[in-house]
């Protein structure tokens, strides 16, 4: 336990003050909030930022397994909120980065158990020590969602190009304080379907949501294989999705990075993937 | 090749269908989520109508209905009598002045309103206000949905039957293209143009 605790960054991240608190939310479940949180966390840490991810999906803990950290989790969010353990003991350091930390959700508890004021105070505390506090919101718009957004200053909306996801994203945007200036990530786009007019395009989605577009993630098998292994695809240099997440991280950090053009998986690329054994 | 035939037989691609369905459902959602806007629309609507006719305020009913190809505003406004002062300045409506029973007849919705109605130099305050109010709603609506106020066709209808039907969109006859134009051709403010009750009634 202690072996991780000693490595938690202690100094304030920037000379000028606190880090940014960003909630990743969507309304609808299964659109990629957790995957996005994990990959942005990994990509930001790879850029040298100190990042902590909070899994706010109490009762349905998942961020730890997506990151491959499930075996390292000893304590969880509610242990910290209810002051049973020290914050440093509950923060799990990532396997790959010394700058990336996770505060896991409680599995055997319920969302109602989280106290909003305590959650806000915790996020404030973490902002003293990290550049980014990423909060993985649960699906829905009930108490779990409200607790997840409570401490956040900014919001990222993850949306799939699909009617129910867009409708829910629209609803969630309406519930967020406008000061959070939500930005959009369109996830799991299938360019060949969009070209045939069988899927909403990114423009279609954003003509409805009208949010600053932070990035587009093409639906790619590499995400599934990476998640199978518990390795963020953002660290895979050869993956299109990985570079899309890295570009999002760069944009989030304020860099003016052009969105990489979605490249089609051609025959050669597929053959290459076959030989690389990415299955 | 297969795609070509598939499209030929299945009609518009499903993506366009998704877009249209989303547009309508979000319009409904936003109306349902903005009761205060709907209430002020109702009030403004009544204010304007009340300048011309006496309205049974307690029995006014303004609702929104999602249909196959549009979201429509249905206003059922029972009219008690025509106001005398106004009736002189405006041309006499072709209806008896007796208190009329409430009849919520849904007037046939005029498809492109700028063709049949607004192009005339008509100052028709009631539908204008309805269109303006629906336009104001579209402002709260973050979707760039075009909003058309289709005024009830008052011609040939008894006054009391004139329920205002403001359709959110004209019925599409073919795969739709998003129309950028909103209720662009607003009539001049009341009092500037000729005052008429309908297209065919000369002043």
pLDDT in tens, B183-196: 333 444 443 333 33
- Per-residue DSSP letter, B45: H
> Model confidence at B28, in pLDDT bands (50, 70, 90)?
confident
- % residues pLDDT > 70 (chain A): 87
- What mean pLDDT comes out for the span A126-142? 97
- Pick from B22, B30, B177 the residue to mutate for testing the A interface (most A CBs within 10 Å): B22
Instruction: Pick B26's closest partner by Cβ from A170, A196, A197.
Output: A170
Query: What is the C-alpha to C-alpha distance for residues A157 and A211, in angstroms, rounded to an integer?
Result: 9
- Residue A225 makes CB contacts below 8 A (sequence gap 6+) with A278, A279
> ipTM greater than 0.85, yes or no?
no
> Model confidence at B179, in pLDDT bands (50, 70, 90)?
very low
Choose among B43, B29, B48: nearest CA to B145: B29
A167 touches B: beta carbon within 8 Å: yes
For residue A151, pLDDT over 90 is answered with: yes
Shortest CA gap B18–chain A (Å)? 6
- What mean pLDDT comes out for the span A248-271? 71
DSSP string, A20-47: EEEEEE-SSSSSSHHHHHHHHHHHHHHT
Higher pLDDT, A202 or A265: A202
For residue B73, pLDDT over 80 is answered with: yes
Provide the pairing of β-strand A183-189 with B79-82: unpaired
Query: What is the C-alpha to C-alpha distance for residues B90 and B121, in angstroms, rounded to an integer?
Result: 15
**Quick check: A103 and A77 in contact, CB under 8 A?**
yes
- Residue A131 makes CB contacts below 8 A (sequence gap 6+) with A13, A14, A19, A20, A44, A49, A50, A51
Higher pLDDT, B139 or B22: B22
For domain A28-275, give the fold.
Rossmann fold (3.40.50)
Query: What is the C-alpha to C-alpha distance for residues A19 and A50, in angstroms, rounded to an integer?
Result: 9
Separation in Å, CA A78 to CA A113, A114, A142, A188, B163: 8, 7, 18, 32, 57
Sign of CA dihedral A157, A158, A161, A164: negative
Instruction: Pick B22's closest partner by Cβ from A163, A196, A199.
Output: A163
Specify the range with the lowest mean pLDDT, choosing from A80-89, A97-106, A151-160, B65-74.
Answer: B65-74
So what's the pLDDT on residue A263?
A: 53
B179 touches A: beta carbon within 8 Å: no
Separation in Å, CA B19 to CA A166, A193, A205, A232: 10, 14, 8, 32
For residue B85, pLDDT over 90 is answered with: no
Query: What is the C-alpha to C-alpha distance for residues B18 and B16, in angstroms, rounded to an integer?
Result: 5
For residue A5, pLDDT over 80 is answered with: no
So what's the pLDDT on residue A17?
A: 75
- Phi and psi based region of residue A189 (left: phi greater than 0; alpha: psi -120 to 50; beta: remaining): beta
Test A163 with B18 for CB contact under 8 angstroms: yes
Give Cα A158 to chain centroid, integer Å: 9
- Pick from A171, A172, A184, A198 the residue to mutate for testing the B interface (most B CBs within 10 Å): A198
For residue A228, pLDDT over 70 is answered with: yes
Residue of chain B with shortest Cα separation from A170: B26
Element (H, E) at B164: strand B164-167
So what's the pLDDT on residue A264?
A: 53
Separation in Å, CA B189 to CA B43, B90, B195: 19, 15, 11
- What mean pLDDT comes out for the span A202-208? 95
So what's the pLDDT on residue A261?
A: 55
Higher pLDDT, B169 or A177: A177
Instruction: Pick B22's closest partner by Cβ from A166, A193, A210.
Output: A166
So what's the pLDDT on residue B71?
A: 87
- Pick from B142, B144, B177 the residue to mutate for testing the A interface (most A CBs within 10 Å): B142
So what's the pLDDT on residue B32?
A: 83
For residue A134, pLDDT over 70 is answered with: yes
So what's the pLDDT on residue B150?
A: 38
User: Token digits for A256?
Assistant: 């003016």
Q: What is the mean pLDDT of chain A?
A: 90
So what's the pLDDT on residue A262?
A: 53
DSSP string, B86-123: HHHHSPPPSS--SPPPP---BPPPPSSHIIIIITS-B-
pTM strictly above 0.80: no
For residue A259, pLDDT over 50 is answered with: yes
Query: Counting one residue from A and one from B, how many pairs have CB atoms under 8 Å apart?
Result: 51
> Model confidence at B83, in pLDDT bands (50, 70, 90)?
confident
Residues of chain A in contact with residue B16, where contact means CB-CB under 8 angstroms, are: 197
For residue A33, pLDDT over 60 is answered with: yes
> Model confidence at A135, in pLDDT bands (50, 70, 90)?
very high
Instruction: Pick A208's closest partner by Cβ from B12, B16, B22.
Output: B22
So what's the pLDDT on residue B106?
A: 40
- What mean pLDDT comes out for the span A99-115? 94
A136: which strand partners? A24, A55
> Model confidence at A133, in pLDDT bands (50, 70, 90)?
very high
Higher pLDDT, A273 or A153: A153
Domains of chain A, by residue range, sit at 28-275
Test A197 with B13 for CB contact under 8 angstroms: yes
Shortest CA gap A81–chain B (Å)? 34
For residue A49, pLDDT over 70 is answered with: yes
- Pick from A162, A190, A202, A207 the residue to mutate for testing the B interface (most B CBs within 10 Å): A207
Test A197 with B15 for CB contact under 8 angstroms: yes
- What mean pLDDT comes out for the span A191-203? 96
């Amino acid at each position: 336990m202690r072996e991780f605790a000693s490595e938690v960054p202690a100094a304030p991240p920037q000379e000028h003050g606190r880090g940014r608190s960003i909630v990743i939310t969507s309304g609808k479940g299964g659109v990629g909030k957790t995957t996005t949180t994990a990959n942005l966390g990994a990509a930001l840490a790879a850029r040298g930022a100190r990042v902590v991810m909070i899994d706010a999906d109490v009762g349905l803990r998942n961020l730890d397994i997506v990151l491959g950290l499930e075996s390292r989790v000893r304590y969880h969010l509610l242990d910290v909120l209810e002051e049973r353990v020290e914050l440093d003991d509950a923060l799990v350091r990532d396997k790959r980065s010394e700058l990336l930390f996770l505060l896991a959700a409680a599995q055997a508890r319920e969302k109602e158990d989280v106290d909003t004021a305590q959650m806000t105070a915790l996020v404030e505390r973490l902002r003293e020590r990290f550049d980014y506090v990423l909060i993985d919101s649960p699906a829905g718009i009930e108490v779990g969602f409200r607790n997840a957004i409570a401490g956040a200053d900014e919001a990222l909306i993850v949306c799939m190009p699909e009617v129910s996801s867009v409708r829910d994203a629209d609803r969630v945007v309406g519930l967020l304080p406008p000061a959070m200036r939500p930005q959009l990530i369109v996830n799991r786009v299938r360019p060949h379907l969009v070209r045939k007019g069988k899927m909403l395009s990114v423009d279609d989605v954003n003509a409805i949501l009208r949010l600053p577009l932070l990035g587009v993630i093409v639906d790619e098998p590499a995400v599934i294989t990476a998640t199978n292994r518990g390795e963020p695809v953002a660290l895979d240099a050869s993956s299109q999705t990985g570079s899309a997440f890295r570009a999002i991280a760069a944009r989030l950090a304020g860099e003016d990075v052009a969105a990489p053009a979605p490249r089609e998986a051609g025959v050669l690329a597929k053959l290459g993937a076959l030989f690389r054994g990415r299955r | 090749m297969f795609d070509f035939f598939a499209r030929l037989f299945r009609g518009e691609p499903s993506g366009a269908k998704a877009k249209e369905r989303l547009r309508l459902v979000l319009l409904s959602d936003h109306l349902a989520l903005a009761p205060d806007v709907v209430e002020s629309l109702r009030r403004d609507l009544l204010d304007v109508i009340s300048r011309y006719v006496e309205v049974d305020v307690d029995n006014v009913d303004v609702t929104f209905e999602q249909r196959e190809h549009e979201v429509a505003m249905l206003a059922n406004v029972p009219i008690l009598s025509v106001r005398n002062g106004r009736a002189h300045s405006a041309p006499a409506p072709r209806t008896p002045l007796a208190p009329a029973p409430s009849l919520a007849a849904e007037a046939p919705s005029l498809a492109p309103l700028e063709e049949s109605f607004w192009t005339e130099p008509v100052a028709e305050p009631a539908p204008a206000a309805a269109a303006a109010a629906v336009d104001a709603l579209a402002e709260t609506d973050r979707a760039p949905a075009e909003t058309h106020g289709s005024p009830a066709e008052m011609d040939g209808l008894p006054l009391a039957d004139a329920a205002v039907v403001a359709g959110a969109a004209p019925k599409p006859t073919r795969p739709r293209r998003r129309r950028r134009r909103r209720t662009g051709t607003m009539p001049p403010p009341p009092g500037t143009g000729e005052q008429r009750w309908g297209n065919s009634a000369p002043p």
